[in-house]
């Protein structure tokens, strides 16, 4: 799941950065969201995989604080990017002719409210449920399930939900990989003659 998360999000970053047609706010937000999703999963999953491998749940205090700092930092960034994406979609759909002019405080507040219909509420509901349930009961299975849901599954699904179903992203990736396969044999052929 971690490799799918990293690979899927890297594909989105690659598609947006390599195609100048995708240098619009919507796709820039998608690439930033992909970067943040890679960062948020990379703060927790490698340690979790190590713990599973060595059958240990030990973490130092400094390690825990560092991990929590970066996890909360990237979770906040994730929320901000999701908010901006919701606002961008709202303007593009509801006010396409005033798209570049409609950035004001009232609509930014509405954007925050809308972003809470979506992935952000899934993230917070499962994380809050995990901490509330851990205080009430000591069910390690249910808390582990909730932890995996909001730290692994949500970032893994974001590329598929937001981008890889998008025709422009798929077209850009196809163009990029087609160019790479054409350049590869040409470079190898030139090296043979040099």
List pLDDT tens digits, range 7-37.
888 988 988 888 888 877 778 888 888 898 8
Give me the chain's average pLDDT, please.
75
Give the separation between CA 39 and CA 75, rounded to whole angstroms.
9
Structural domain contains residue 172: no
Taking each helix axis from N to C end, the angle separating 25-54 and 61-94, rounded to the nearest 10 degrees, works out to 150
Quick check: is 179 in a domain? Answer: no
The whole-number pLDDT of residue 91 equals: 80
Total number of domains constituting the chain = 1
Range of the domain at 43: 2-165
Does 124 map to a domain?
Answer: yes
Residues 183 and 188: their CA atoms lie apart, in Å, by 9
Residue 71 inside a domain? The answer is yes
Half-sphere exposure in the Cβ direction for 69 (13 Å, CA): 6
Q: Is the pTM of this model over 0.95?
A: no
Instruction: Please identify which residue in the block is written with the tokens 């937000």.
Output: 29
What pLDDT is recorded for position 128?
Answer: 63
Residue 98: inside a domain, yes or no? Answer: yes
Assign 38 a pLDDT band (cuts: 50, 70, 90): very high
Please list, in sequence order, all residues whose beta carbon lies within 8 angstroms of the beta carbon of residue 127, skipping any fewer than 6 positions away.
146, 150
Check if the beta carbon of residue 101 is closer than 8 Å to that of residue 107. Answer: no
In a domain, 182, yes or no: no
Residue 8 lies in a domain: yes
């Amino acid at each position: 799941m971690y490799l799918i998360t990293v690979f899927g999000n890297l594909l989105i970053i690659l598609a947006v950065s390599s195609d100048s047609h995708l240098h619009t706010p919507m796709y820039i937000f998608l690439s930033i969201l992909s970067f943040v999703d890679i960062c948020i999963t990379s703060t927790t999953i490698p340690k979790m995989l190590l713990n599973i491998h060595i059958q240990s749940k030990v973490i130092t205090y400094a390690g825990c604080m560092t991990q929590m700092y970066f996890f909360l930092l990237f979770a906040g960034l994730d929320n901000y990017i999701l908010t901006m994406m919701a606002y961008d979609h709202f303007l593009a759909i509801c006010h396409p002719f005033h798209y570049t002019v409609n950035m004001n405080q009232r609509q930014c507040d509405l954007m925050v409210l809308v972003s809470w219909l979506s992935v952000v509420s899934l993230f917070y509901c499962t994380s809050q449920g995990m901490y509330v349930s851990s205080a009430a009961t000591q069910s390690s299975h249910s808390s582990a399930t909730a932890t995996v849901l909001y730290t692994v599954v949500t970032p893994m699904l974001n590329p598929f939900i937001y981008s890889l179903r998008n025709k422009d992203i798929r077209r850009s990736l196809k163009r990029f990989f087609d160019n790479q396969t054409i350049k590869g044999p040409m470079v190898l052929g030139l090296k043979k003659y040099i």
